[in-house]
Structure 1
Amino acid sequence: MGDVHEGFDRPGASARVLVQGQPVEGYPALPPEVGRGSVLRVTEIGEEILHRPSRPADAEFGTPELAMLVDDMFATMYIAAGAGLAANQVGVDLRLFVWDCMDEDGVRHVGHILNPVVEEDTTRGRRLIEDVEGCLSVPGATVDVARPARSVVHGYDKDGKPLTIEGFGYFARCLQHEADHLEGRLYVDRLAKRDRKDALRQMADRHDAVFAKRRILTDKLLAGRAPEVG
């Protein structure tokens, strides 16, 4: 999910933070994964990998390659100013997504999940909230989308340990948005024809500006890793 944060403008250590659903004290503005990861190309609407269900993880659990992919996805999410990113958005056919997203209570949620399954909410009177939504694979476009106010997702961490994540408000929206990606569904697929057309027009108008900003943030990330001279 995109266009929520301004790149590296993240809450400091004073904010309440949940990492993998657990409270953490003194968490840095940039997760450690960002410092280890490499920036990957973000796929865009129309590319085949975004429009089909992703492959479940199996042999990948516990491997260095999976840990590296999680790091790379965090780094890519940051330079693209996103709140969430799915593996097929970096060209990888795997049921995995990462997030760094604030909720309405000012709680910051950071983590990753593999083989996520969104718990179906059968509660009578389920509340939907319409709010603005963007996507790193539809760069520059933002449109209101109605989604449930609460979301519970079950899956596994990169080592294969079971994981359950609960989100409310904007974080619930983020979880649902990323889970949709792994089913081959973009948020624009949920829109009426006129709204979808408007989103694609926004993308065409803002595409160059979005990528210029990503280049600036990539340079900033790389500069922060450069060794000091002297």
Structure 2
Amino acid sequence: MPIFQTPFILSMKIACISTFITFFVAIVLAWIFAYRKSYLTQFLSGITTLPLVLPPTVLGYYLLVSIGNESIIGKLYIYLFGSTLVFTQTAAVIAASIASLPLMIRPFQIAFESIGKEIREAAEVDGANSWITFIQIVIPLSYKGLLAGIILGFARSLGEFGATLMVAGNIPGKTQTLSIAIYDAVQANDWNTANLMVITLSGICIAIILLSFPLEKREEN
């Protein structure tokens, strides 16, 4: 059981931190993509979608090149903190954040675009600037889309495997998440442990997705 508990707690920790960080990045990018249409924003929107279509190992390779010891980010991290960035929990958070980012951006963007232009213009006529309009009008009216994005992003972060393995490694008690522990258990032919972890991870993800159903029912009513 302790072998199971550590990857579970670590996965939840990484997923929570990743979701918190990704939320703020996604909400800014979704706002840009929704209200600042141009060829540049369309290109950036396509770039942010890549984690959905790239093989996990390819995504992990790009991350390894970007934050590895020989990269600018990697060298800066070593200079500031005196240790490498790769093969740490921080690297696992980065991998989970990048993998889950598009799953947050899309629902956010759709929710923002559903707010009619006349509503935003009315707020501006009343004296509200773009920032106040976004905070006090757009976000409250978009809360269902925001919650949907958060739910999907958290579930994706919780189940992240390939990119995390590439940049964070498989260090028991340090970077071994539940998904990686399942892989290890199968490789070791420990089916009892693998089954327990698979059922747990699947149950959590299903429960998280089911959280969106009450929102849909309220919308229908």
The structure whose residues are more often helix, as a share, is 2
Larger Rg: 2
Q: TM-score, normalised by structure 2?
A: 0.31
Q: TM-score, normalised by structure 1?
A: 0.30
Greater relative CO (CA pairs within 8 A, separation 6+): 2
The structure whose residues are more often strand, as a share, is 1
